[in-house]
Amino acid sequence: MTEEKSTTKKTTAAKKSTTATTAATVTAAAPPAKAPAAKKAAPAVAEKRASEQKAVQTALIEAEVQAAPTECAALPERTATEKPSPEERYRMVQSAAYFIAENDGFQGCDTDYWARAESEIAAQLGEA
């Protein structure tokens, strides 16, 4: 009797594994039908969104540039004989010092840049 029980259990176990293997084979053989179409559409949608975002960013930057006031527009118009106010002269020296430093790669001393800018502005205003 012992032999019959062990034989029955083995055949049942074998049947279960065969059924599981068959189900796995059937599932693996049938690929999803909509997956390839979704993969092709996704990059096109992503590219379209990216191009729309770039267009919006470009439009915003152009609007900011057009709306931004310039330094020249803020300064009152003067004749050639009028001198700028001390505040205006300071701003002129400040921007000149920045551009001198930028051309030098910001490697030197700030006071040297400021001194060079002072002499350039003085020469332009006829103070030298």
**Using one digit for the tens of pLDDT, what is the confidence trace for 45-69?**
777 787 788 777 777 777 766 665 5
121 in Cβ contact with 96 (< 8 Å): yes
User: Hey, is 87 helix, strand or coil?
Assistant: helix
Confidence of residue 16 (pLDDT cuts 50, 70, 90): low
Average pLDDT over residues 26-51: 63
Q: Tell whether pTM > 0.85.
A: no
36: pLDDT strictly greater than 80: no
Greatest distance between any 2 Cα atoms in the chain: 126
**Residue 116: Cβ within 10 Å count:** 17
121 in Cβ contact with 89 (< 8 Å): yes
Q: Which tops the pLDDT comparison, 39 or 128?
A: 128
116 in Cβ contact with 97 (< 8 Å): yes
116: pLDDT strictly greater than 80: yes
Q: What is the DSSP letter of 50?
A: H
Contacts of residue 84, defined as CB under 8 A and 6 or more positions apart, other chains included, come to 75, 78, 92, 125
Average pLDDT over residues 33-53: 68
Q: What is the pLDDT of residue 60?
A: 72
Average pLDDT over residues 96-116: 96
| CA dist., res. 105 & res. 98, Å (int) | 10
Mean pLDDT score across all residues of the chain: 73
**Token couple for 128:** 């030298």
